Chain A
Amino acid sequence: MHRIYLDNNATTPILPEVFETMRPYFSEHFGNASSIHHHGQQTRAAVEDARESVAALLGCRASEIVFTSGGTEADNLAIAGLVAAGDHIITSAIEHHAVLLACRHLEETGCEVTVLPVDGRGLVDPDDVRRALRPNTKLISVMMANNETGVLQPVEEIGRIAAEAGIGFHTDAVQAAAKIAIDVKEIGCHALSISGHKIHAPQGVGALYVRKGTRLQPLFYGGRHERSRRAGTENVPGIVGLGKAAQLAKTAFERGDDRKMAALRDRLQQGILAQVEEAAVNGDNAARVPNTTNIRFDHIDGEAMVIALDLKGLAVSTGAACSSGAIEPSHVLVAMGLRTDQARASIRFSLGKQTTAEEIDIALVLVTETVARLRELSPTYKKQAVST
């Protein structure tokens, strides 16, 4: 069975060039980047090259990049590292759990947290941010692009609000990086998180941009790695992979790959909307990253749809998997005002650099067939009378 993978917002395959660049750092270049000898110097150089590539992708200086174990650690480091007990944090209802649960934990340990709602398009209103400011507000954390819908948030405007208020601004750019151009100066953020495995680098590596001069409390203690911002021996192969993926992403923008990606995504989305009745795009009418579309197929159960499609070789996703692996309705879609059954009827399609037009066309057939079968079994779906 030829398997088609349209779940790239969950993770992406490592690009062959990325893997080749990493390969020597598993074996011949094995040094600890902190060692003073030849072996350490080799890996140190590789880590710093990677840092420069990541900095170039984000429009910052290499010294402002802190490598982490991934997006979750980057988010946690930014949030816990920028506030103290008694501070107030403003965040949004559609954040990734790495942000939401980090904030909830801080709330339990003495911080105040405001969770802003979103509108029907999935957008945070900057005026809500402004209104939520308190004298003790220390940090705003609003994501750049949402993982479920791909909807881009008004981060530049929120950055200006943070600057006017003289407070910190963190943005989780895990789902934006390598999909749209990022310039931390335009955003005006103090911290920005990215993850390796969402941009065709390996799992287990990520980075946090921390604006120069920003005081950041570390999460870990154990060494002066990463300028004392993240203790622990560097994951050199992972960091090398992240650097290469960042470099490839930058040249891909220059080639206009993002427009091609959007065209493929639109081909899928328009095909579905043309062939399937009672289907709608969640987050339509908002600017989105080019690889994501989230479509609601009324009267179906997304969980059954994901399983049925997987058995036919198409990987997509719905909602969030809880610890058992069972699916719970997406908190993002619920925050956008969808009923639980509508959230459960929604499927996320997310493309990667490896996705081809042929795959999109096959996916389209599988999706329309599966929706038709599921609707035949659906107690709420009434077959429309054919009007002449």
Chain B
Amino acid sequence: MSGGVDSSTVAAMLRADGHNVIGLTMQLWNQSRLAGREGMPESVQGRCCSLDDVYDARRVAQQIGIPYYVVNHEERFERDVIRPFVEEYVSGRTPIPCSLCNNHLKFDQLLIVAQQIGAERVATGHYARVAFDEARGRWLLNRPADASKDQTYFLFGLTQEQLSRTIFPLGDMTKPEVRELARRHGLALAEKPDSQEICFVPGGDYKRFIDAYLAEQGEALPDTAGDLVTTTGEVLGEHTGIHNFTVGQRKGLGVATGSPLYVIQISGASKQVIVGGEEHLYSRTLRTRRVNLIAVEDLHEPMRVTVKIRHRHEPAAAVIERTGDDEILATFDEPQRAVTPGQAAVFYDGDVVVGGGWIA
């Protein structure tokens, strides 16, 4: 229970259906830890793990009459989400902490807590569907009824074991229906706005968060300044550090040329930011590592799927094939814009999540 409308409604629904429900909030990050540091707000409120959200979650639990506990997973979150987030960012990739959090916290630690306290399943407010497919003998992760809230992109890492013990009661509902249900259950937070940004980054400013975090840790931001070069190797100038750039970025390159320039590639090793015309942004293939397959046990032959390469991306037709022990190659029918290392590529067969991996 995050203190938001989705997980609160899930708790109320399950309770009304007569389930024996236990409310849990994961305390993942102390929002006041970096408050007041340079570039960070003096106090942070109304975000994940904030006292306000815990208060809201606890009030819902009290209202619907279920036991409620806050479980502390701050150390694990810092180790498995914050640290990798910072390291990815500093090395010029664009990380997605929500997937890491799902893989390492919500569907790992939380399932362990559930087992420890004797709960059979974990229910969350994610928009996705889980179903057991008799024919394949596998648990499937499917897209939800409300395509605009689809969170399957962040859930591609779930294992069969995790899926078998997870329920997503909102999978068949749209967000307006969820709010309506929250109102019908008399939940005061039915109108609470959706959270938009990464929960631990106030205001969505990654760079300031990373500066403040590294300062707190007594670590310096590595010097990753280097050359800004064109796709043909011509040096256009210097840049202040690769973490200031993301693939596809157009603004803030600090060079003026006749035609618009985009970041095409970031090289952590040479500290080069490679820029070029929009046409260079398109790739026909991508490679994924740390692959997880859901709908199939393995990929023995090429498979026709659609591939989603970032959260707001419309999945594009492609063929995927195994090219290594832990590598899957996706070849798109049409070249895709701004394939970004560090993001996930998730493979779909219609509404079914075949699997996914991290873009290398």
Residues of A within 8 A of B (CB): 301, 303-305, 307-308, 310-311, 322-328, 373-374, 377
Write the chain A residue with the least CB distance to B49: A324
B58:A304 contact, CB within 8 angstroms: no
Question: How far does the alpha carbon of A303 sit from the alpha carbon of B76 in the complex, in Å?
Answer: 15
Identify which of residues 58-79 in chain B touch chain A, using a CB-to-CB cut-off of 8 Å.
58, 67, 69-72, 74
Report the minimal beta-carbon distance from B209 to chain A, rounded to whole angstroms.
20
Write the chain B residue with the least CB distance to A376: B115
Question: How far does the alpha carbon of A217 sit from the alpha carbon of B145 in the complex, in Å?
Answer: 66
Question: How far does the alpha carbon of A311 sit from the alpha carbon of B69 in the complex, in Å?
Answer: 11
Write the chain A residue with the least CB distance to B119: A311
Write the chain B residue with the least CB distance to A309: B117
B118:A311 contact, CB within 8 angstroms: yes
Which residue of B22, B58, B67, B116 contacts A301 across the interface (Cβ within 8 Å)? B116
Contacts of A307 in B (CB 8 A): 22, 69, 71, 113, 116-117
Write the chain B residue with the least CB distance to A300: B116
A325:B116 contact, CB within 8 angstroms: no
Contacts of A323 in B (CB 8 A): 51
A325:B22 contact, CB within 8 angstroms: no
Which residue of B25, B27, B67, B112 contacts A310 across the interface (Cβ within 8 Å)? B67
Report if B122 contacts A (CB, 8 A): no
B67:A303 contact, CB within 8 angstroms: no
Write the chain B residue with the least CB distance to A321: B70
Known interface pairs A308-B116, A311-B67, A373-B116; A326-B51 also in contact (CB < 8 Å): no
Question: How far does the alpha carbon of A339 sit from the alpha carbon of B219 in the complex, in Å?
Answer: 25
Question: How far does the alpha carbon of A204 sit from the alpha carbon of B67 in the complex, in Å?
Answer: 26
Write the chain B residue with the least CB distance to A329: B72
Report the minimal beta-carbon distance from B193 to chain A, rounded to whole angstroms.
21
Tally of B interface residues using CB under 8 Å: 19
B115:A325 contact, CB within 8 angstroms: no
A326:B71 contact, CB within 8 angstroms: yes
Contacts of A305 in B (CB 8 A): 116
A377:B71 contact, CB within 8 angstroms: no
Question: How far does the alpha carbon of A84 sit from the alpha carbon of B117 in the complex, in Å?
Answer: 50
A-B contact pairs, 6 of them (CB 8 A): A301-B116, A303-B71, A305-B116, A307-B117, A310-B67, A377-B116
Question: How far does the alpha carbon of A228 sit from the alpha carbon of B70 in the complex, in Å?
Answer: 42
Contacts of A327 in B (CB 8 A): 71-72
Known interface pairs A311-B22, A377-B112; A324-B70 also in contact (CB < 8 Å): yes
Identify which of residues 1-58 in chain B touch chain A, using a CB-to-CB cut-off of 8 Å.
22, 25, 27, 49, 51, 54, 58
Question: How far does the alpha carbon of A304 sit from the alpha carbon of B72 in the complex, in Å?
Answer: 10
B69:A325 contact, CB within 8 angstroms: yes
Question: How far does the alpha carbon of A16 sit from the alpha carbon of B115 in the complex, in Å?
Answer: 40
A324:B27 contact, CB within 8 angstroms: yes
Contacts of A308 in B (CB 8 A): 116-118
Report the minimal beta-carbon distance from B218 to chain A, rounded to whole angstroms.
20
Report the minimal beta-carbon distance from A386 to chain B, rounded to whole angstroms.
25
Report the minimal beta-carbon distance from B43 to chain A, rounded to whole angstroms.
13
Contacts of B49 in A (CB 8 A): 324
Contacts of A326 in B (CB 8 A): 27, 70-72, 74
Contacts of B51 in A (CB 8 A): 323-324
Write the chain B residue with the least CB distance to A301: B116
Given contacts A324-B51, A325-B54, 13 further A-B contacts (CB under 8 A): A304-B71, A307-B116, A310-B69, A311-B117, A322-B27, A322-B72, A323-B51, A325-B69, A326-B27, A326-B74, A327-B72, A328-B72, A374-B116
Question: How far does the alpha carbon of A374 sit from the alpha carbon of B51 in the complex, in Å?
Answer: 29
Counting from the closest, the 8 A-B pairs by CB-CB distance are: A326-B27, A326-B72, A304-B116, A325-B70, A326-B70, A324-B54, A308-B117, A307-B117
Question: How far does the alpha carbon of A327 sit from the alpha carbon of B115 in the complex, in Å?
Answer: 19
Question: How far does the alpha carbon of A198 sit from the alpha carbon of B117 in the complex, in Å?
Answer: 29
Write the chain A residue with the least CB distance to B73: A326
Question: How far does the alpha carbon of A325 sit from the alpha carbon of B117 in the complex, in Å?
Answer: 17
Write the chain B residue with the least CB distance to A308: B117
Interface bits B84-121 vs A (CB < 8 Å: 1, else 0): 00000000000000000000000000001101111000
Report the minimal beta-carbon distance from A359 to chain B, rounded to whole angstroms.
20
Known interface pairs A323-B51, A324-B54; A377-B115 also in contact (CB < 8 Å): yes
Known interface pairs A324-B49, A325-B58, A328-B72; A304-B67 also in contact (CB < 8 Å): no
Report the minimal beta-carbon distance from B119 to chain A, rounded to whole angstroms.
9
Contacts of B58 in A (CB 8 A): 325
B72:A303 contact, CB within 8 angstroms: yes
Report the minimal beta-carbon distance from B16 to chain A, rounded to whole angstroms.
20
Write the chain B residue with the least CB distance to A324: B54
Question: How far does the alpha carbon of A326 sit from the alpha carbon of B113 in the complex, in Å?
Answer: 14
Write the chain B residue with the least CB distance to A305: B116
Contacts of A303 in B (CB 8 A): 71-72
Contacts of A374 in B (CB 8 A): 116
Question: How far does the alpha carbon of A374 sit from the alpha carbon of B25 in the complex, in Å?
Answer: 20
Contacts of B25 in A (CB 8 A): 324
B27:A304 contact, CB within 8 angstroms: no
Which residue of A304, A322, A324, A328 contacts B117 across the interface (Cβ within 8 Å)? A304
Contacts of B71 in A (CB 8 A): 303-304, 307, 326-327
Contacts of B54 in A (CB 8 A): 324-325
Contacts of B22 in A (CB 8 A): 307, 311
Contacts of A324 in B (CB 8 A): 25, 27, 49, 51, 54, 70
Contacts of B67 in A (CB 8 A): 310-311
Contacts of A310 in B (CB 8 A): 67, 69
